[in-house]
Each structure stands twice: as C-alpha cells, then as structure tokens.
Chains A and B, each alone.
Chain A
Amino acid sequence: MTTVEEPKTTTFDDNDQKPVGFGRMLRKEDPRLLRGRGRFTDDVQLPGMLHLAILRSPFAHARVVSVDTSAAEASPGVKAVVTGETLKGLGLAWMPTLSNDVQAVLATDKVRFQGQEVAFVVAEDRYAARDALELIDVEYEVLDPVIDVRQALAPDAPLIRDDLEGKTNNHCFDWETGDADETEAVFARADVVVKQDIVYPRVHPAPMETCGAVADFDAVEGRLRLWSTTQAPHAHRTLYAIVAGLPEHKIQVIAPDIGGGFGNKVPIYPGYVCAIVGSIVTGKPVKWMEDRSENLISTGFARDYIMRGEIAATRDGKILAIRTNVLADHGAFNGTAAPVKYPAGFFGVFTGSYDIEAAYCKMTAVYTNKAPGGVAYACSFRITEAVYLVERIVDCLAAELQMDPAELRLKNFIQPDQFPYTTKTGWVYDSGNYEPTMRQAMEIAGYAELRREQEEKRARGELMGIGISFFTEAVGAGPRKNMDILGLGMADGCELRVHPTGKAVVRLSVKTQGQGHETTFAQIVAEEIGIPPADIEVVHGDTDQTPFGLGTYGSRSTPVSGAAAALVARKVRDKAQLIASAMLEVTVADLEWVKGSFQVKGDPAKAVTIQQIAMRAHGAGDLPDGVEGGLEAQICYNPSNLTYPHGAYICVVDIDPGTAQVKVRRFIAVDDCGTRINPMIIEGQVHGGLTDGVGMALMEMISFDEDGNCLGASLMDYLIPTSLEVPDWETGYTVTPSPHHPIGAKGVGESATVGSPPAIVNAVVDALQPYGVRHADMPLTPSRVWDAMRGRATPPI
C-alpha cells in the first residue's frame, strides 16, 4: 500500500516540486485545451469531406407512410439522400442497443419518439445538407403516443414496439433484488414504517460538445476510419464489426479530445452509423455533428425513475429494512448502458451505508414514446437513483422519529469491522470507515452551530435548511465473471513501454472526456517506476494505438484501468530489477527499490536509475539469461470486485419566503475515494459533480407535453447551472483504501453527482419544515417550492 503525505496547499499554481508519483500537479493536457489547441471531432477536416444532416421526426408516435426525397436530391450541393428503406436494403435499418434491445437507425415502419432519425442528407457543406432536409417530404399517420409512464401498461395503451415479435404491451422488463418475504416479516414487526413516493425526473447529460463523427471509408482497402465522440472506442469498434459486418482489424475508431461525456457518449447513436453509411455510399469522408437541440432531444437521457420508498425502524432509530418499488421509463428503445446482467444498473445498492436486516426492490420498466437511453449520466449505473432514494427516505424517517438526521445516520452506519460487508441485496462493500467521514463533514460545517442558527432564524420567520447525505457508491465495473456489455467482458488492457532514454509511453483502453487521464495515469505509472509524469506520454482513444478495454464511464477508469496501469508498471519494474542485478552484479534479492532506482541493500552508493536501466535494456552487451531486450510490458486487468467510495455531504440553503427562491449558501463535501492520486484533479471532479447536483436538484428536467413534444430542446428551456448558482465548495477527505485495488484507489468521477442532490433536497425540505413539508420532488424551481409551501407539492411527472 503506497500513500504519500499530501502537500497542504490551496493554491492552484503548479507545484515546483512536481511529484514523481501521487500529489498535486497541474494537468498535462491543459496547455493544449486552454490554448484552443485541442483537437475535437468537429476539428477533423479531411480532403473532399462532405457533411451530413439528419431529418428527425416531429411526432412522438406516427406511422411513416411515405418518404419523398426527389426535391432534396435535386437541391444544390446534395450528394446523397438516404432513408430507412435504403438502409433496409443494406440490412442496417436496425441496430442493437447496449441492453440487447434493437433501435432503428432510420425509421422504416414508425417513428417512436420526437426527434427520431428518419432520413439523412449528405452534401457539400453543412448548410446545403440542412437546407435539403426541408425538401424531404414525409407523410406521417399520427398515432396516439404513450407519454404518461404510469399509463404505459394500461390495457388500452397504444402499442409502441410492434416491431418486436409477439409484443402485445409496453412492458420492457421486470427486475427484483433482495428477499421479499424476509423484508415483509421485518416490516411487520417494526415500530415505525415510513413511506414516501419519490421521483427522480428525466435529466440530460448535456455535455458542452455534442455528439458527432467523421467517417472515412476506403473502398479499395476496405478500411474504415471513424473519428467519433465516444467514451468507449474499443467497445464501439467491436460493435461496428458485429453490426455492419466489417472486419474488426479494418476498423479504426479514434476518439479525439472530447468536450464532456457524462455517459452521453457511451451508446452508439444512429448518427454514427449514418456517417459510416454516408461515407460508404458517397466514397468520401463524411462529417456529422449534432446540433444542441438534436443532442437534447434524441441522445441518451438519464434517471426517469418513479420510486416508492419504504423504511422500517425501531422507535429509537435503528433502521431495520428498506423496500422499494420502481417504475422505470426507458423511452422508445431500451438503450440503457449497463452490464447486461444488471438491467437496473447497480440500483441494488439502495440499502445505502446502513447495516440493516432486510431489503427488497421490485422494478418494472416500460417503453414510452420518449427518447431512448438510460445512460450512466455521472451515476455509476443508477447509483444516483439508489442513493437519492435511501438518503431521502432516511430523512423522512428522521422527521417521523423527530431525530436529528445526522444522529440517525451515525447510529445506523455499517461499522469498520464489518467490512468486507455483504448487503442484503448481495453487494460486497470492500472497505469503509464512515463515522470519521461524517464527523469531518459536521466539523467543517459547524453542524451544531448551524442548527442553533436555524432555530433563531425560524423564530424570526426566516427559512434556512440543513441537508445531509451520506453515500456509498459501487464503481469500477467490473469482474468479468458477472459483468459484460453485449458479451464484452469489462476487463481493461494496458501497455507500458520505456524508451531507451528513460521516457515512457503508457497506452490505455479508457478515454478521458475531461477527467484528466493524461495526468492521473502518468502519475500512477510514475509512482510505480519513478519516471516523472512529464516524461510519460499517455496514449488513449485510438483503437489502433491502444489495447482493448471497455472505456470510461461509471467511474471505472481509476478502479479498472488505474489498477492495470499500476500493475503493468510493476511488471516493467520487475524486469528492470533483473537488468539492474546484472548491471550491479548482485542477486535480485540483494536489490531494493527506492523510487526511481534500484540500490544494493545496505550500500546506497551502488545504484542504477530506471533511466540507466532503460538504456541498458536497449543497449549493447548481454542481458541476463532469459531476459529479452527492451523494457515494456502489457497486461489485462480483471478486477476481483467493485470498489466502494463513500462520502458525507452537508448542504445549507436559504429560501426567500416571499419568492420561494432557493439559495445554496454552503456545501460541504467530504469524500473518501481511497488512495488519492492527484488531489487537485479529485477536487475538480468533486466541484463539477456538485455543480451538476445543484442543477438536477434545482432546475434540470427533460419534460414532455401530452403530445410527446420535448420541452427541453434548447439550453434556454433545459437549464444547466452556472457559477452564480453555486457556493464556494468546502471539501475535505478521508482515506480508506480499497483492499483489492493495487494502489487502493476507488474512483471519484461520479461521487459528487451521486451524493449532492439528496443533500440539497434534504436541505430544502428541512427549510420548509415550518410549513409541514416532508417531501418535495426535484427540480426545486421557485414555483415548485412555492407549491410545496402551500401544501400542494406535486410530482414533476
């Protein structure tokens, strides 16, 4: 186990003493990105490149009667117009989704959500392509849509998926976990039972860069190069090979710089396939870049769970059991990105951080006439919903018991000596020490003082609320014995090569979308082999340049690929030790590793640096018997378990009683992500996630009118937070390393997005206690808060 003393600095200046390993340092990728020298998909320009625009359905549910493309084809600059019928001829009208469903690439029979792809135009420039869309004449026969998810299974509900053999209703899947009878028995004998209906509305990842691709098919070589906004280039390449029947070795997927993903760039979208088809039919490179509205209305949404939470406890506040029933809206096609055996993602961790006796969840998922998806939007595969449920219902219990919510949580935590802890739904929490994390958050907040202040303010009629959430996440999917995506195991490859002069290149299967991989992974390797991070190039995002692995989402990069990077570096170090023993003419056992060099035990003057060893590995002269030249290694890491980061968040809000506007005054986040590699990057991840949480709690929601029109089709309608809505974040940390991860790191990419919404909602509900409010659903816009104050809180859907 390696941990280092963290320099106590709060400045964001670069460290003079750049760490050779873990520690605070500026990001290696930032000079390029900050100077506008990043290279994003839309920056790719190829000779003769054409532009593609997609015609989308204005209706949520309609039969496609006919598509007339003749006027569009005659429009100036147009090279090709392709419809569903054309694709049908090529066997490409439908494609598999990440959840073993199928999704239309271009509609042939019906359109099933507003914004669905109907046809595309390839033209000389983006304007000509877009103009020609207006000339495509589609005749629709409008059908009744299924918009109200609660009515999706009603006997008279219109059938959405008549493309599926034998389908007679809108049922998507059922899923359950835990023990229903055992849970019922515990509920039956509990002193106190609290029930609460809780909605986690549909939200959208809304990355700054929309999705897009440049496809370049070389008909002579039979070779496809595809630049695309993908968080998972290798998985995509294999799926293209399977779907399009192109040989995998002839496909190169390149994910260049990505302007934010948040799960939005995990699925394969029809647009990518259209770009490939466009290039095949025109024989030219074809660019497709989605516009903002297209991104918001058609690409992977997240959440959309209607939950009933129930919690059972003793009168003195011992939580006994948690039970939930979930209605999940999966939209028109089940495009959930999750390991296939986990249709509800990792929602099973809804038992939270508490040692309870029984738990049970029953979920029903349905199809509706809304955009498909259910992506891991910074949610670690539905953990966001699970944590929101448990942290909200625990607060409801605290209110019922008239107990302080911090005290209630402290009383029920899983204790440090219970780890590894198997939950009642079968998850094995690897490590945790919750109380110190909670206490630290309370200390930073000045919890007791805040409660006193609140009491005084309440006496004056002012509305102040304090909200707590404590979360445990399950990240780093995952062990290949039970986790795969469409049959692809979730293990990650990694390759490390040390050049003769002691510089190195590490090749990753994961792909940054802004998380700082080029720095973090250089630091992981640096920590293990003592080469400074500046001397380590991190290569990622290009399937021709990197080993196979499943990509970056679900906070999996550090838990999986981070482990791979550490282990591959150790492999290189082991080889370096063999070479060092020859160089120093001692046995391997006589050498000790002092970061950056091997020394003869007891004689530090006799030492060789990793750089000297690298030169020797490539240089003249014999190497020890059985040792090949070169200094490199490769590995494929299969995690033995997930990792379980945790954190304690406290939010303080003030509400204007006259306008019901919520102001987040303070937010304290104490995170435990195990070993901390670059604290600055961790803080960045936390700050971003917390901001995201403020957005979801207070303003974000993709809603629909009764005809299925998406009401969030622009950033004027779908609000995302700005710096003015958020306070100065107050962060802290504890370190409980993962016992099975080679460096003890747990992943932090989504912790704050997962943990913050319940803290904010709990704070708002706490502030509204004088009005007798026990629950109010997100988004807590002024109007919805005002409704709650009037005793008229309504679910948003």
Chain B
Amino acid sequence: MQVPAPFEYERATSVDQAIGLLERLGSSARLVAGGHSLLPMMKLRLANFDYLIDINPLHAELGYIRPVGDEVRIGALTRHRELLESDELAAAFPIFRDAERVIADPVVRNRGTLGGSLCQADPSEDLSAVCTTLDARCVIRGPGGAERVVTMEEFHVGPYETAVGDDEMLTEIRLPLRPGGGSAYEKVERRAGDWAVVSAGAAVWLAADGTITDARVGLAAVGPNTTGIPEVSAALRGREPAEDLYEQAGAIAARSCDPATDQRGSADYKRHLADELTRRTLRTAVARARS
C-alpha cells in the first residue's frame, strides 16, 4: 500500500464554507472530489497538501444535470456514472455517453466527477476534450459568492493548470444547446480503462438544408491541454458534409496538434490518430445530427 504524507481533513458543509476554508488555508489546501486523480498523486507523493477539503457532502447541491433555457447545466460534483447513465444528456449530447463508456472503469466512474476531471487539467482527460468540443462555459465561484464564467480555452492555462484560483471552486459547466446538433467521441487506448493514446470529439450543427452551420473538434492527449481547433471549424462551416471534407478536417487536426512520443505511442502515430479519429467522429456526429 502506498501511503501519503500527513494531512488534515475536513468535510465541507456548503460551497461558501469550502471557499472560506480555501481562502484561509491558501495553496496548502486542496478540494477533494472523487479523489481518483488527487489521491493517487498523494499516495505516490507527487503531490503533498497540508489540508484536504472534502466536497462530497455537497453532492446534493452540486450533482445535477439540468436544462435551463438554451443550455444544459451540469454541477461540478456530477459523477462519471451519472453522466453515463443520463438519457437526457445522451439525447442532447451523445458525445458524453460515448466518452463515459471509455473512461476508466466502474470503480472510478462511481466516484470521479466532472469538476475533478476538468480541474485536474490532464492533457489526456476525456471530459475536458468533450467540454472543449461542446464549447462549454465553466462557472468559477470565489469568496463572497463572486462568480465568473470562462470558456474552456480560458479555463485550461497549461498542463495541470487551470484558471481556478487558490480560493476558488468550479461549480458548474454550461453547454449551449443549438438546433440540428450531433456529436460523437472516439478514443484509442492500449487497454480498456487506460488513458487515451489519442481521443477526439466532434460536434456539428446542421442547417435545415443539410449544410454545416457550425462544427467543433476537440482532441485529447496531443498537446499541453485538450485542444479545440478553430481552423477545423472554419473549414467546415457552410459546407455540405462529405468524406473529402472530413479528410480535410482530419488533415488540419493532424497538422494543428502537438503530440509527444511516449509509452502510449509515437508522435507520428498520434498525429495519424488525430486525423483518423477526427474523420470518424465527424462522420458519426453528422449521421447523428441528421437522424
């Protein structure tokens, strides 16, 4: 058994109380949600914190999937399993269920959360790629109830680094609902439950005449953060969905990413996958948008 260094532990009683503790304890404190990223790092002593503030008691408050106007709002403590099982979410954004089916294993999915996934800011995090693809907004709350809303591009500021300050907390993700949408996710992994070698998400929105009004592609594990590729969106907008268009998008994706060679695969191979998976997910997303 790997054992972490000593730390103090406190259970949160409300969002504002948790933020109050963060404010007081500063960078020596960390929130723990599902714990499936934080605790392994602490057990390996790659990360040591003096205080852990457990926000699981806030699940009733921060665990939800809720349509509000032209958005779907998801609470930061919503667990992988809840995202996987929500038919509502799968109907609006099938990319979520695609992704959740290939994230980790049931044990991790039972506890791990959307907020934890995004805040971990691991370049291979699947839900970050999903949220990037869907152009999610992140609601960050600070002392005194102050809230700000940032885009995914603003949220991730580097590998394992986010826009969330030491005394702040991610509370909610907002996903814009637009008509004619379809989305999909694909991941290549060396083994079930492994982190992605590369994964790709695609979302398209079709006009009544079948042309693409908007499209987004998000890639994981090919750069410092999960990457949205504006050039792909530009190339697809206003066009008729077709194989050669997907090929073009794939080529842009391969060109625009910045993978590194590691044990999961060579940079060349990952670049190839960026291309291949972009094409595949666009194909599926379009088929779903049409049906």
A: residues with CB less than 8 A from B are 126-127, 130-131, 134, 289, 291-293, 658-661, 698-699, 703, 711, 714, 716-717, 719, 721-722, 724-725, 781-783, 786-787
A698 to B188, CA, bound (A): 14
A127 and B263 in contact (CB under 8 A), knowing A659-B276, A721-B191, A783-B197? no
- Which of these binds chain A: B50-58, B59-67, B148-156, B264-272? B264-272
18 more contacts with CB within 8 A, not counting A293-B44, A781-B190, A786-B265, are A126-B1, A130-B3, A134-B5, A289-B1, A291-B2, A292-B2, A658-B276, A659-B277, A660-B269, A711-B263, A716-B40, A716-B195, A719-B194, A722-B192, A724-B191, A782-B188, A782-B265, A786-B272
Contact pattern, B 108-135, Cβ under 8 Å of A = 1, otherwise 0? 0000000000000000000000000000
* CA of A724 to CA of B277, assembled, Å: 21
Which of chain A's residues have a CB closer than 8 A to the CB of B44? Answer: 293, 714
Across the interface, which residues of A come within 8 angstroms of B195, CB to CB? 716
B272 to A719, Cβ gap below 8 A? no
Q: Cα distance A758–B257 when bound, in Å?
A: 36
Residue B137 lies at the interface, judged by CB distance under 8 Å to chain A? no
| Distance of A341 from chain B, by nearest CB (Å) | 38
Interchain nearest-CB distance for A720 vs B (Å) = 8
In angstroms, Cα B191 to Cα A725, docked, is 7
| A residues less than 8 Å from B40 (CB atoms) | 716
Please list 18 pairs of residues, one from A and one from B, whose beta carbons are closer than 8 Å in the complex, sorted by A's number.
A127-B6, A131-B6, A134-B5, A134-B45, A289-B1, A291-B1, A293-B2, A658-B276, A698-B191, A699-B191, A716-B194, A722-B105, A722-B193, A724-B191, A782-B188, A783-B266, A783-B270, A786-B272
Contacts A126-B1, A293-B44, A783-B264; is A659 near B193 (CB within 8 Å)? no
CB neighbours (8 Å) of A724 from chain B are 191-193
CB A606 to nearest CB in B, in angstroms, measures 63
Q: Which residues of B contact A126 (CB under 8 A)?
A: 1, 3
B269 touches A783 (CB 8 A): yes
- Which residues of chain A come closer than 8 Å to B190, judged between CB atoms? 698-699, 719, 781-782
By Cβ-Cβ distance, the 8 closest A-B pairs, closest first, are A783-B265, A724-B192, A783-B269, A291-B2, A658-B276, A786-B269, A719-B191, A130-B3
Contact A659 B273 (CB under 8 A): yes
B280 touching A658, Cβ below 8 Å: yes
Q: Which residues of B contact A (CB under 8 A)?
A: 1-3, 5-6, 40, 44-45, 105, 188, 190-195, 197, 263-266, 269-270, 272-273, 276-277, 280
Report chain A residues within 8 Å CB of B273: 659
- Bound together, the chains give a CA A291 to CA B43 distance in angstroms of 10
**Min CB distance, B2 to chain A, in Å?**
5
With the chains together, A658 CA to B273 CA distance in Å? 8
Q: Which residue of A lies closest to B280 (CB)?
A: A658
Known: A291-B1, A293-B44, A786-B269. A659 touches B263 (CB 8 A): no
Interface secondary structure of B, over-half rule? loop
CA distance A768 to B190 in the complex (A): 19
**In this complex, what residue of A is CB-closest to B265?**
A783
Q: Give bound CA distance, A279 to B193, whole Å.
A: 41
| A-chain residues with CB within 8 Å of residue B45 when the two chains form the complex | 134
> Which residues of chain B are within 8 angstroms of A134 by Cβ–Cβ distance?
5, 45
Say yes or no: A787-B192 contact (C-beta < 8 A), given A658-B280, A782-B197: no
A717–B272 contact, CB under 8 A?
A: no
| CA–CA, A699 and B194, complex, Å | 11
Closest CB-CB distance, A701 to chain B, in whole Å?
Answer: 8
> B191 near A659 (CB under 8 angstroms)?
no
Contacts of A786 in B (CB 8 A): 265, 269, 272
Which residues of B have CB within 8 Å of A717?
Answer: 263
In Å, the complex CA distance between A782 and B197 comes to 9
Residues of B within 8 A of A291 (CB): 1-3
Query: Could you say which residues of chain B place their CB within 8 Å of the CB of A698?
Result: 190-191
Contact partners of B266 in chain A: CB under 8 A: 783, 787
Give Cα distance in the complex from A724 to B266, angstroms: 24
Query: Within the complex, which residue of A716, A725, A782 is in contact with B269, where a contact is CB–CB below 8 Å?
Result: A782
Residues of chain A within 8 A (CB-CB) of B191 are: 698-699, 719, 721-722, 724-725
Instruction: Please give me the residue from chain A that is nearest to B2 by CB atom.
Output: A291
Give the residue among A291, A711, A724, A782 with the most B Cβ atoms within 10 A.
A782
Residues of A within 8 A of B197 (CB): 782-783
B1 CB to closest chain A CB (Å) equals 6
User: Closest residue to A794 on the B side, CB-wise?
Assistant: B266
What B residues does A658 contact at CB under 8 A? Answer: 276, 280
Q: Are B192 and A725 in contact (CB-based, < 8 A)?
A: yes
Cα(A293)–Cα(B40), bound, Å: 12
* Cα distance, A720 to B10, chains bound together (Å): 36
Least CB distance, A721 to chain B, in whole angstroms: 6
Q: How many angstroms from the CA of A783 to the CA of B195 in the assembled complex?
A: 14
Name the residue on B nearest A51 (C-beta).
Answer: B3
Shortest Cβ distance from residue B277 to the other chain A in the assembled complex, whole angstroms: 8
Complexed CA–CA distance, A407 and B191 (Å) = 34
**Would you call B1 and A131 a contact (CB within 8 A)?**
no
